[in-house]
Structure 1
């Protein structure tokens, strides 16, 4: 979107001027975000079952459009069409299915999880071609739903240009940014320069990878630190989180343009600031997913936690109220692993002498909040305690039987790392000299060995159990091998009792 960026398409013949389609769904609503090559003279026209849906312009310039239609029948495939204002077809018709009705108990439902799909090739992220192939392989298993857990964007501002690294590395990043997409914090947020640059970043890191691949698979995005255009760092100067108004604005603008509609936001005290940190996905009475952003709510004054208190209370109360067969926590911040990073739940430090370590600014209250969430998960009766996390550039699974002074053995926490799509060189053992490991205050066993590899996780959910399959790949393995990738690990999580 501007800046001379060349966008690819999954099928150029079917997407003429459409750069990306990002759908979402509930039991009675379908929604679609559409990103276009150029602002049209009038709104594009989307129909569902032949009925035109009102278009919403999602950005000032007209590159992004949104469509939301409620009142639909649950668990049903609906036909969508997309045309320009003159009726010229922009994409071949496709189907998108609403989620099961709230009182339905599907026999099975497949969910795809992954993290860290963003990154720019110019900054050593995994190639766009390899990321597309990982998506295509994951989609070949026909998931019913997909969750992209954080780090859709990597374009850090102060942490890249002023705080981290030496002067030479910061100057190199500044030169790269100026060539590709310079976001100017000294001008008005809505300046032409900033709009142009944000469009370019979205184009290179989101739209060019997703294209229209997920047109028939509802998507849910969770935000993590880099989605606020910073890394989670601290120092004598303060903390990068909670986000300052400028970076919060960048995240919100990116979400408006290029995140699928979040249709399951609760109405929390504190308004949009707190409510935007949580989303509930209900799959009938079969499963409920609690998606939550662990960056926006950092309390660096009292050290209460990394989640807003209102968000924490909602998550725990909802866990107790839900009548779903399975209730799964999906935090952006990993539960069960540490790599010595400041923003973790855990106090574990990287090896002595690790460059740029700021772990001394970690606050003990963050682990206290972790304990409250873990205690509530494990206290479930009949349901297994499951969490599947983002952020960590690795894939694996653990069974946690103790956390601090909490005995979890009656209902161990099944902790899963989803697998990273976009990581090229930023593996924890390289950047922080520390392989992802079990935090010192946790006791558990590996269900699946942890690997610093690209990959994704599939959950096949049935009323009595969840079948977990994890996939991994990493260069120098040939990119062509992704097309036939098989799970490197499979296991079952059964309902208790």
Structure 2
């Protein structure tokens, strides 16, 4: 039987402020996790009131996701060179904001600064550069790729002595080491959080997991209802803020989502499949992205009407399909294979037909020296899991992949 909360958490939180909600969570495992969400101390830069800051850029635009150590009651401003960008609140409390700058010059190093509504500096100024224009001829481009940086902080006392995920301080140290090589951009490929809401093994397959019970989401309500938003931040924030902090403030980063970013593992049983993802978890994935890391900026060679792409008050953005173009030297195609995957046997797909057409067009196009495909689930590789491109399955007796045994529920169309 599912353990019940001592009081109705949703009813309690619905009539209280965010601070009271945090105090309430403090008595429970989710609250203990939220306390781990402090950012790493910034090196050689005064972060001021900034908890985390993650930017992305193109040749003419910038998009920044920023959270602060306290809610801002009035709108902050981002200064970009001589220009100013009014912030847009991305949560309901005023802790998370985005800044979307357009009409910038290519290959220009801008000085950025954040100001409160009263003109007070929210942090020290810092530099961020736009990319070269698509027809520019840069001589070099250094790219950082990494994956699966999420997970609640665990413990590590040496090789073979790890419990849970790596501590966030070690993950942050690894990323700082990577940044010491001065990459021009970074791709964070999937699994920025691990907080699967269901278990997929044993007799309780398909039931709420321990994480799902801790969060106790009201899936009939909106993600940004008071209790759901508090639970989402308590679960996701400590997996992102301590890992990145403000370290990437001058390095554009491109975040792809994968299965765990939809708050689930790619798994299937006789009774239920985790993907296509249920509506509420889809909204959790979108809200996590909205709060913590940037969506993809528009690109002239990518159709504006691809799935999960839109022009709204938050900007011309794509949640699932992106382009990193660095002059005529490199183009990286970024695509999430989870959002449009279907279960239709020989007609099933991982990626929508319009997305596939875009990928084929770019693969056959000229005008760029190096073209790289970077899907959230890499092709040419398999771990024998269900939600992969190929029918390979793990032969546990021989500890090897095989196609001699049918992979249950794998779709031929994939």
Q: TM-score, normalised on structure 2? A: 0.80
Cα distance in 2 for partners of 1:98, 1:296 equals 29
Secondary structure in 2 aligned to 1:255? helix
Kindly indicate whether the alpha-carbon contact (under 8 Å) linking 1:164 and 1:170 is maintained by their aligned counterparts in 2.
Answer: no
1:359 aligns with 2:407: yes
Cα distance in 1 for partners of 2:381, 2:168 equals 28
Secondary structure in 2 aligned to 1:112? strand
What is the aligned partner in structure 2 of residue 255 from structure 1? Answer: 289
Gaps of 5+ in 2: 1-17, 26-30, 155-162, 311-317, 400-404
What is the aligned partner in structure 1 of residue 341 from structure 2? Answer: 298
Kindly indicate whether the alpha-carbon contact (under 8 Å) linking 1:268 and 1:311 is maintained by their aligned counterparts in 2.
Answer: no
1:324 aligns with 2:368: yes
With over 3 angstroms needed to count, the CA separation of the structure-2 counterparts of 1:317 and 1:300, relative to structure 1, is: same
Gaps of 5+ in 1: 367-497
Q: CA deviation at 1:268?
A: 5.3
Q: CA deviation at 1:259?
A: 1.5
Describe the superposition over 1:218-265 as per-residue Cα deviations: whole angstroms up to 9, x where unpaired: 010011001111111122224211222111111111111112231136
What is the aligned partner in structure 2 of residue 79 from structure 1? Answer: 111
Cα distance in 2 for partners of 1:362, 1:80 equals 48
1:68 aligns with 2:100: yes
1:10 aligns with 2:41: yes
Q: 1:185 aligns with which of 209, 219, 226?
A: 219
1:148 aligns with 2:182: no
Secondary structure in 1 aligned to 2:125? strand
1:236 aligns with 2:267: no
Kindly indicate whether the alpha-carbon contact (under 8 Å) linking 2:303 and 2:358 is maintained by their aligned counterparts in 1.
Answer: no
1:196 aligns with 2:230: yes
Kindly indicate whether the alpha-carbon contact (under 8 Å) linking 1:75 and 1:101 is maintained by their aligned counterparts in 2.
Answer: yes
Instruction: Point out the more displaced range, 11-20 or 110-119.
Output: 11-20
Q: CA deviation at 1:198?
A: 1.0
What is the aligned partner in structure 2 of residue 109 from structure 1? Answer: 141
Q: 1:222 aligns with which of 256, 262, 265?
A: 256
- Structure 1 runs of 4+ with >4 Å offset: 1-4, 165-171, 176-179, 268-271
What is the aligned partner in structure 2 of residue 448 from structure 1? Answer: none
Kindly indicate whether the alpha-carbon contact (under 8 Å) linking 1:286 and 1:326 is maintained by their aligned counterparts in 2.
Answer: yes
Give 1:341-352 correspondences, 5 Å limit.
341-352=385-396
With over 3 angstroms needed to count, the CA separation of the structure-2 counterparts of 1:251 and 1:121, relative to structure 1, is: same
Cα distance in 2 for partners of 1:255, 1:24 equals 13
1:309 aligns with 2:359: no
Cα distance in 2 for partners of 1:152, 1:252 equals 13
With over 3 angstroms needed to count, the CA separation of the structure-2 counterparts of 1:253 and 1:278, relative to structure 1, is: same
More strand by share: 1
Q: CA deviation at 1:188?
A: 4.1
Cα distance in 2 for partners of 1:156, 1:213 equals 27
What is the aligned partner in structure 2 of residue 422 from structure 1? Answer: none
With over 3 angstroms needed to count, the CA separation of the structure-2 counterparts of 1:270 and 1:14, relative to structure 1, is: closer
Describe the superposition over 1:193-231 as per-residue Cα deviations: whole angstroms up to 9, x where unpaired: 210011122311111211000000001001100111111
Cα distance in 1 for partners of 2:305, 2:201 equals 35
Cα distance in 1 for partners of 2:171, 2:239 equals 11
1:45 aligns with 2:77: yes
